Each structure stands twice: as structure tokens, then as C-alpha cells.
Amino acid sequence: MFRHRTLALVVATLSLAVAADRPRALTPGDGPDPWFGTFSIIAFDPVTQELGVGVQSRAFGAGAAVPYAKAGVGAVATQASANRHYGPKAIALLEQGLSPAEVVKRITDEDPGRDTRQVAVIDTKGRSAVYTGKRVIDRNSDPKDLVHLGGYAGHVTGDTFSAQGNTLASQAVVQAMADAYRAGRGTMAERLMDALDAGQAKGGDTRGMQSAGLLVVRPIPPGSESTVERVVDVRVDDHEQPFLELRRLMDMTLGVPQRLTDRAATLAKQGRHADAVAEQQKALAINPRAETLMYALAQRYAEAGDPARALEQLGAAIRRQPAQWKAQAAADPAFASLR
């Protein structure tokens, strides 16, 4: 009997310990919400028909939670205490013909936690609407909420775009994002990236940086063999400098290393070997694990009369793909001097 009572006591004690270790479900306003402290930009390009979202947050994995977009329909950024149902719901309502303003009203009216939310929606007419909940604004001046005390929450909209954020250094963050997007001349992804950089340059999130993401979608033209609507879909979940890494991933997606490689080859033919090497180094810095870029840099070094560095890069490429690059290098006139 004693052994049974002792065993029961041990089981009960362990059960209490396990229960204490379980994470407690949080409700809106229950402790600092990790999704507060986010700035984003949504946009539509009437020329390319691209829709895009760019985001940065001092929270893990914002690039997977904040942006939603569907080609030919619209784009959404759900942030602050992010409601992940907002994205799919907003897209469905846009498909039904509702305007962004009507969509935002509908999804927030139906959400009892709306006071802790910030959401922005844009459609393929370039119309946008933004909602920032009362609690999102109030907690910026709440002396009991020291994490977010003194931040700014709001937005700046323009033709075919909207920049919004919370827990920001000042309104200058979203204004700088708007100005940078208007002035942009690159692709949709590059303009979004420039806007994010501009916002960070004005102080960004008062808590700092951690994660970021870019999403750009475009309708597939009739008769096209392409199956890709998400032309850019990259994110950085946890990084001290997320924008540096995000731009590198964006450049890989947009084919920047190949363009630099082509330019390096052209410069080499013109006898501008130092410039050719510099361009090829940029390409390899963007995608440092690509043996094709290692091989191309070996070519440029060989043509520049630098056999040691040429052999170093050629060796790196061959170690990754010996069957391919050994045979190719053996017949490559660029390496004639090395033989």
C-alpha cells in the first residue's frame, strides 16, 4: 500500500512539472506580442501586372507570415499581432469583386482581435486600403508597455502602393519607403527592396532587425510554357543583417550572377581583364556555392595572367563536379597557359 501511495505521489509531481513547462496560450495584449514591430510595403505595377509585398520585422519568420499575394487578384500584408487568416480571406473577397476598402472593413469587422492588428490590401486597379488597430496605436504611448513605448504606427499610400508599419522610429520610416518606391527604376522586387532599405535608413523598427521577406507574383501569359507565377519568393527568418541577405537572395532569383558573368566575359574580350575579374567576383559573392561561377572566375584570372588564382578557382569547381569541369578545362583555350 505504501509503495502504491508513493508511486502515485511521484506521478502527480511529475505531471505538475510537465504542465508547468508547457507554453501557456497567449491572448491579445497578454505580454509583448512578437509580431509588433513590423514595416511593409505592398504594390501593383500596371505595366508588368506584378503584385508584390516587402516586409521586415524584429521577430522570427515574418517573411512567412506577413505577405500574401495572388497573381491577377491582389496582395496583402498582415502584421502587428498578425492574423494569418487575413491573407486568404482578403484574396477571396477581392476575387468576389470587393474593393480593398471593403475587404479591409469586412475582415476586421469579423475579427474580435482587430484592435491588435495592422493590415494592408491592394488590388489590380492599384487601389489600396490600410487598417491599424486602436491597441497598435495606443501601445506606442502606454507607459506600462516599455517594449513599444514611443514608437510610431501608421502608413503612407500613393498610386499603386502603400507603405505601413508599427513600433517605428517615426513617420519618416514609411515616408522614406514611399519616396524610394516612387523613385525606383528597377523591377518590382528591386523597388520593394529599395523601399525597405530606405525605411531602415530612417530608423526602421525601434527594436532592431531580425527577419525579412519579398514576394512578387505575375500572371502567366496565355500560351506561355512557364508555370511560375511567383517570380520572387524569398525570405530571411533570422539574421543580424536581414536586408543584406535578402538582397543577395533576390539577386540570385533575378539572375544577377549570370548577367554579371556575361558582362565579365565581354570585358575580358575587350582586354579589360581587371574589370572582368571584378565583375566575376561580384557574381560569385552573390552565389558562392555555384561551381559555374568558380569556373568562370578561373577563366578570367587565367586571361588576366594570374595562374595561381586561376588554379585555385578551377580546383574548387573541379572538386564539386570533377567529371564535368576536368574535361571542359582540358579543352578550354582560356587555360592553355596553365597546361
Q: Is 17 a residue whose pLDDT tops 60?
A: no
Percent of the chain with pLDDT over 90: 79
- Give the Cβ contact number of residue 178 at 10 Å: 21
- Number of other CB atoms surrounding residue 92 within 10 Å: 14
Residue 12 maps to a domain: no
The answer to whether residues 286 and 200 belong to one domain is no
Assess if residue 26 is contained within a domain.
no
Residue 27 counted as domain residue: no
Q: Within this chain, do residues 237 and 97 fall inside the same structural domain, yes or no?
A: yes
Same domain, 231 and 328: no
Residue 27: which pLDDT band, with cuts at 50, 70 and 90?
A: very low
Is the pLDDT reported for residue 207 higher than 70?
Answer: yes
**Is 32 a domain residue?**
no
Same domain, 226 and 278: no
**Do 198 and 280 have their domain in common?**
no
Residue 144 has a pLDDT of: 84
- Res. 30 pLDDT band, cuts 50 70 90: very low
Number of structural domains in the chain: 2
Are both 163 and 235 inside the same structural domain?
yes
Domain of 126, CATH number, reads: 3.60.20.10
CA 174 to chain centre: 17
Residue 55: domain span: 38-253
pLDDT at position 149 is: 75
Compute the mean pLDDT over every residue in the chain, rounded to the nearest whole number. 90
Same domain, 215 and 278: no
Q: How many CA atoms lie within 13 A of 282 on its CB side?
A: 16
Q: Are residues 74 and 169 in the same domain?
A: yes
Residue 141: band (very low, low, confident or very high) from pLDDT cuts 50, 70, 90: confident
Among 198, 221, 253, which residue terminates a domain?
A: 253
Residue 236 and residue 278 in one domain: no
- Residue 338's pLDDT is 82
Determine how many CB atoms are found less than 10 A away from the CB of residue 16.
10
Q: Domain holding 261: CATH number?
A: 1.25.40.10
Q: What is the per-residue pLDDT for 261?
A: 98
* pLDDT band (50, 70, 90) for residue 227: confident
Of 226, 253, 280, the one marking the end of a domain is 253
d(CA 204, CA 165): 9
Tens of pLDDT, residues 252-308 = 999 999 999 999 999 999 999 999 999 999 999 999 999 999 999 999 999 999 999
Tell whether 302 and 240 lie within a shared domain.
Answer: no
Q: Select from 253, 278, 310 the last residue of a domain.
A: 253
For residue range 152-171, what is the model confidence (pLDDT) as tens digits? 999 999 999 999 999 999 99
Residue 16 lies in a domain: no
- Look at residue 4 and tell me if it is in a domain: no
| Chain-centroid distance, C-alpha 253 | 12
Pair (131, 275) in one structural domain: no
Per-residue pLDDT, averaged over 99-122, amounts to: 97
In a domain, 2, yes or no: no
Examine the domain organization and report whether 76 and 203 are in the same domain: yes
Q: Is residue 180 part of a domain?
A: yes
Helix (H, G, I), strand (E, B) or coil at 73: coil
Pure H helices in 77-213:
86-95, 100-109, 134-138, 172-183, 188-201
